[in-house]
Amino acid sequence: MSGENLKDSGKRAEFDTGSVRDTEDNKGRFDLLPLGGLLAAARQFQRGAAKYGVDNWRKGQPVGRYISSAIRHLIEYREGYRDEPHLDAAVWNALALADTVRRIELGQLPEALMRGDDNPYSLPEPLPPDVAPLPEVTERAKSEHKMGFGLGAPPPEVTDKAKVSAAIGTLLEFWERCKKTIDTPDGTV
């Protein structure tokens, strides 16, 4: 039966009333989440549900598709396109990516989703732990690198789960910088 065993960190917080409870250490600070960003993400999830069906994305998609789409939407926003909610779409992709990677790690989705299709951001077959060289970058990724992506840096070469997490952080940082663009007179990030 669900809920019979409570997780316990072994640490306690005591309140002025005398009440005691497990601490919030490493449980996530939901009070720190930006409400405006959450609203934008919720609206993008709603638009996606109307277009593709509720929770269609939860069936599983290659992680490279999320990475590629998030980068594309950030670039389109940065380049001034306002034909659709590009920041909302970038955040949606980052959230779906993080959830997909987590569910792959938990065994709820197939490991094959870490790779897949011909997307240069899909992850390669895992290398044995004692092998250090990175895999070759596809021709498509090389041509995109030559185009410069409009960001002044080459596209990330994602090769493992830790780098996927780092890429998500980079995308979210860039999103925050893009939001500030609205307030700068010269439009710089």
Residue 51's pLDDT is what?
Answer: 96
* H or E element at residue 14: strand 12-14
* pLDDT (tens place) for every residue of the chain, 189 residues total: 455 677 778 889 899 999 999 888 877 888 899 999 999 999 999 999 999 999 999 999 999 899 999 999 999 999 999 999 999 999 999 999 999 999 998 999 998 898 766 666 666 555 555 544 444 444 444 454 454 443 334 444 445 566 666 667 777 777 776 666 555 555 454
Residue 83's pLDDT is what?
Answer: 96
Q: Does residue 49 lie within any of the structural domains?
A: yes
Q: Does residue 148 lie within any of the structural domains?
A: yes
Q: Does residue 52 lie within any of the structural domains?
A: yes
Could you tell me the residue range of the domain that residue 161 belongs to?
31-127+134-181
Are 104 and 111 a contacting pair, CB within 8 Å? Answer: yes
Q: Does residue 12 lie within any of the structural domains?
A: no
Residue 121's pLDDT is what?
Answer: 64
Question: Of 41, 26, 32, which Cα lies nearest the Cα of 85?
Answer: 41
Q: Does residue 60 lie within any of the structural domains?
A: yes
Residue 1 sits at the vertex; the CA angle it makes with 19 and 104, to the nearest 5 degrees, is 95
Are 109 and 60 a contacting pair, CB within 8 Å? Answer: yes
Q: 66: which residues sit within 8 A by CB, 6+ positions away?
A: 93, 94, 96, 97, 100
Q: Which of 61-81 are b and which e, b meaning 16 or more Cβ less than 10 Å from the residue's Cβ?
A: bbbbbbbbbbbebbbbbbeee
Report d(CA 158, CA 154) in Å as an integer. 12
Residue 141's pLDDT is what?
Answer: 47
Q: Does residue 46 lie within any of the structural domains?
A: yes
Residue 97's pLDDT is what?
Answer: 94
Report d(CA 122, CA 135) in Å as an integer. 12
Are 179 and 86 a contacting pair, CB within 8 Å? Answer: no
Q: Does residue 86 lie within any of the structural domains?
A: yes
Strand-strand pairing, 20-22 and 12-14 = antiparallel
DSSP code, position 33: S
- Give me the number of domains the chain comprises: 1
Q: Does residue 2 lie within any of the structural domains?
A: no
